[in-house]
Amino acid sequence: MKHERGLFELYDDDPERAEQILFGSRRDFLKFTTATAAVFGAPMIFARNLPPGLIPISLAEAGTLTLTTIPGKEPMIVLNDRPLNAEPLAHQLDDAVTPATRMFVRNNGIVPSPSDADAWRLTITGEAAAREVTFSIEDLKRQFDHHTYQLQLECGGNGRAEFRPPASGNQWRLGAIACPRWTGVRLKDVLDKVGTEPIARYVGYEAADLHLSGDPTKQAISRGVPMAKALEDETLIAWAMNDEPIPALHGGPLRLVAGGWPGSVCGKWLTRLLIRDRVHDGAKMGGKSYRVPCEPVAAGSEVADSAMCIIESMPVKSLITFPRSGITHNSSQPMALRGHAWAGDLAVQAIAVSIDFGQTWQPAQLQPPANRLAWQRWHALVTFPGSGYFEVWARATDSAGRSQPMVLPGWNPRGYLNNACHRLAVQVL
């Protein structure tokens, strides 16, 4: 029986051969350009700049995309229903402050039943706690100053779908990022009141979500952060999102928020905080969970658990939220672009856009963040030299001078930390 290979399989096997099958040889540039016109319905004006082996975004995005309505959400891509994981499309994230209706959903276990906030309790304990203390939400509100910050939350696997060979896990595209406003109390203020021993090294969380097996003795996820991150001003025990009680799907009535690190450290349905004298060893802290190789590895390699390092600050990244990919545009008019950029614990220093596959870049206007660890809004205008198929790329640079890679960063077994340039396809008429 003849085996028909799909586009991604062709590119996985031999990207340059796949390109030759689609477009012909680059050595005959005229024929190559003609071939691109046959594929895209218009010539690829900057075809000679297309990085070898890179699948044009219009082909990578081809196919029917099914959007599903989840209660309280706009239609989203549902990646899994047990546990529920879903993401919006890039253009749905155009708001400066992410509304709950457009915020991605990431679960590791079964969402607990809605609980009465008045009855909720949070216990602070652990080997390095000076004492054990239990707070109600009302206790937290009454005993500590309230703080509100806009904070970025991004799943460590955001962009996993682009890795080749494929990495295990939910195949997130680009929508597992959000930046709502969170209100609560500083974790450091609570820890100061409880008291910590000099041996305190880490703060781990435990939560009310149920393990997928249904076994109440198992935890779905229990991660945490080093003391330095726990003691930052912006690390909150939060009860409100966008000035409303946190929706149950996003961890209400009480959750941890530590912006700039993978969202998995921001425990939802928070019931216990453990002040540890060691790196927290809860569920999904070990093995390959939320870890990447300490040193670069070849794609598809087997990597020992002992050679994996915990992900901390997320890398610099950006998103084009307007317009949406696949639009047509009149060549006689400049095209407005806008989006967001963020850089984990750092700030974004600059952002630039390209219409010629990264051969040239023009700076975009970058706004300051609402506060530390919030994403930054950017705007740009681009003019196309004529009609044809174009790709618009966005590339951010952080305050340490690190820029996004134009193509995929180093492969890792779980497909974490993909911060390649966001691309969108434009048909210019």
Domain that holds residue 37: 27-64+313-429
Q: What is the pLDDT of residue 295?
A: 96
* Distance of alpha carbon 378 from alpha carbon 369, whole angstroms: 10
* 11 domain residue, yes or no: no
268 and 334 in a single domain? The answer is no
276 and 149 in a single domain? The answer is yes
130 and 199 in a single domain? The answer is yes
232 and 268 in a single domain? The answer is yes
272 and 348 in a single domain? The answer is no
129 and 235 in a single domain? The answer is yes
119 and 173 in a single domain? The answer is yes
How many structural domains comprise the chain? 2
* 70 domain residue, yes or no: no
261 and 155 in a single domain? The answer is yes
* 381 domain residue, yes or no: yes
Q: What is the pLDDT of residue 25?
A: 66
* Distance of alpha carbon 191 from alpha carbon 126, whole angstroms: 12
261 and 184 in a single domain? The answer is yes
* 122 domain residue, yes or no: yes
270 and 134 in a single domain? The answer is yes
* 14 domain residue, yes or no: no
Q: What is the pLDDT of residue 61?
A: 85
Q: pLDDT truncated to tens, each residue of the chain (429 aa)?
A: 444 556 677 677 777 777 776 677 666 666 666 777 777 888 898 988 988 888 899 888 877 789 999 999 999 999 999 899 999 999 999 999 999 999 999 999 999 988 899 999 999 999 999 999 999 999 999 999 999 999 999 999 999 999 988 998 999 999 999 999 999 999 999 999 999 999 999 999 999 999 999 999 999 999 999 999 999 999 999 999 999 999 999 999 999 999 999 999 999 999 999 999 999 999 999 999 999 999 999 999 999 999 999 999 999 999 999 999 999 999 999 999 999 999 999 999 999 999 999 999 999 999 999 999 999 999 999 999 999 999 999 999 999 999 999 989 999 999 999 999 999 999 999
**φ, ψ for residue 365 (rounded to 5)?**
-80, 125
Q: Are 384 and 335 in contact (CB under 8 A)?
A: yes
Q: What is the pLDDT of residue 1?
A: 44
* Distance of alpha carbon 379 from alpha carbon 84, whole angstroms: 34
* 48 domain residue, yes or no: yes
Which phi-psi region, left, alpha or beta, contains residue 385 (left: φ > 0; alpha: ψ -120 to 50)? alpha
Whose tokens are 């030299």? That residue is 385
**Among 243, 269, 285, where does a domain finish?**
285
125 and 242 in a single domain? The answer is yes
Distances (CA, A) of 241 to 121, 232, 252, 254, 276: 19, 19, 9, 10, 28
Q: What is the pLDDT of residue 2?
A: 47
Q: Are 416 and 310 in contact (CB under 8 A)?
A: no
Question: Which CATH number do you get for residue 397?
Answer: 2.60.40.650
**Among 285, 300, 326, where does a domain finish?**
285
Q: Are 300 and 152 in contact (CB under 8 A)?
A: no
- Angle among Cα 161, 152, 156 to the nearest 5 degrees reads 30
Question: Which CATH number do you get for residue 217?
Answer: 3.90.420.10
Handedness of CA 99, 101, 104, 108 (dihedral sign): positive
Which pairs from 302-308 meet CB under 8 Å and 24+ separation?
303/412, 303/413
* 77 domain residue, yes or no: no
| Residues 265-301 as b or e (16 or more Cβ within 10 Å = b) | bbbbbbbbbbbbeeebebbbbeebbbbbbeeebeeee
* 295 domain residue, yes or no: no
CA 334 to chain centre: 30
* Distance of alpha carbon 375 from alpha carbon 260, whole angstroms: 9
244 and 345 in a single domain? The answer is no
- The β-bridge partners of 87 are 77
**Among 249, 270, 285, where does a domain finish?**
285
